[in-house]
Structures are given as C-alpha cells and as structure tokens.
Amino acid sequence: MATVKRFEDLRCWQKARVLTVKVYSMSKHGELAKDYDTRSQFRSAGLSVMNNIAEGFGRFSNRDFIKFLDYSAASCTEVKSMTYLMLDLEYFSTEIIKELQDEIEEVKASILAFIKYLRKMDK
C-alpha cells in the first residue's frame, strides 16, 4: 500500500463519508424527521463511523488507530441495528432499508479489511 498522508485518502473513510451523508439525508424525511431522539442517535452513530476513522488516523500508533477503527466498525453495527427499528416502525420501505444495510456492511467490511492490514503490518 502506498503511504497515506491524509485520512481523506483512506478508502474506508471515503465510504464512511458517503454513508454518513446518506444517514443525514434519510433523517430529513418522513416519520424519522419527526422522531427527534431516534433521528439524533441515527445521525450520531452515522457520524461516528466517519469521525472515528479520522480520529484514529491522527493517533501515533497502529494500535491506537486500530482501536478507533474498531469503534468505527461498531458504529456501523449500531447504525444497522437502528435500521431494524425504522423498518419495524415503517419509517422506510424494506427496499430502502435493505439498500442502506448493504451499504453499511460494505463500509464495515472495508474498515475490517483495513484493520487486518494494519495488524499484519505490525507483525
């Protein structure tokens, strides 16, 4: 892998950014826009995916970076969990939720692959 000098160059951060924008966009529509508590938590978890990658990049060791990448992956799981509530409450169609869930899993897989890479580099 080429030396990355900015967190913006990380593919996992780029994917997380797209996911975060989607989370914010979805939170402006329908019943979710009126459900302030759920909307706020959904946005917070979505933003956490992106920001933990950036924050971890700013740390001084791969070990610390991996810890923040782990937080980011966990935030993906939180966002996905919330999609089931939105599905159960019929805030969005099954199709829209499935599309978002697939995107979440793609972001999470990218983060986990990067964690695996960093761990391999430390050996």
Q: What is the DSSP string of 63-111?
A: HHHHHHHHHHHHHHHHHHHHHHHHHHTTSS-HHHHHHHHHHHHHHHHHH
- Two tokens at 55? 């924050």
Specify the higher pLDDT residue, 122 or 98.
98
Q: Which domains does the chain have, with CATH numbers?
A: 9-122 (1.20.1440.60)
18/13 Cα distance (integer angstroms): 9
Report pLDDT digits (tens) over 44-100.
Answer: 999 999 999 999 999 989 999 999 999 999 999 999 999 999 999 999 999 999 999
pLDDT higher than threshold 60 for residue 1: no
Residue 3: predicted pLDDT: 78
Report pLDDT digits (tens) over 8-31.
Answer: 999 999 999 999 999 999 999 999
